[in-house]
Amino acid sequence: MRAIFLDRDGVICENRSDHVKAWEEFRFLPGALAGLARLAETDFATIVITNQAIVNRGMVAANVIDGIHARMLTTVRRAGGRIDRVMVCPHRSDEYCACRKPQPGMLLQAAAELGIDLVGSYMIGDAMTDMQAGLAAGCRCIMVMTGRGRTQSARTTSAQGEFRLTHDLQHAVELIRYLEAFGVERLTPIPSSAITRPLALPTLPAHALR
DSSP state of 199: P
Among candidate residues 7, 126, 130, 168, the one labeled active-site is 7
CB 124 within 8 A of CB 139: no
Q: Is 9 a catalytic residue?
A: yes
Q: Is 7 a catalytic residue?
A: yes
Quick one: which H or E segment has residue 45?
strand 45-51
Residues whose CB falls within 8 Å of the CB of residue 96, separated by 6 or more in sequence, listed in order = none
CB 166 within 8 A of CB 142: yes
Report the candidate in 146, 165, 136, 139 with the shortest Cα–Cα distance to residue 47: 139
Residue type for 146, please? T
Q: How far apart, in whole angstroms, are the C-alpha atoms of residue 208 and residue 94?
A: 45
CB 122 within 8 A of CB 5: yes
Among candidate residues 9, 126, 130, 168, the one labeled active-site is 9
Quick one: which H or E segment has residue 141?
strand 140-144
The strands making up 3-6's β-sheet, listed across from edge to edge, are 85-89, 45-51, 3-6, 122-125, 140-144, 163-166
CB 114 within 8 A of CB 82: no
Q: Which residues are catalytic?
A: 7, 9
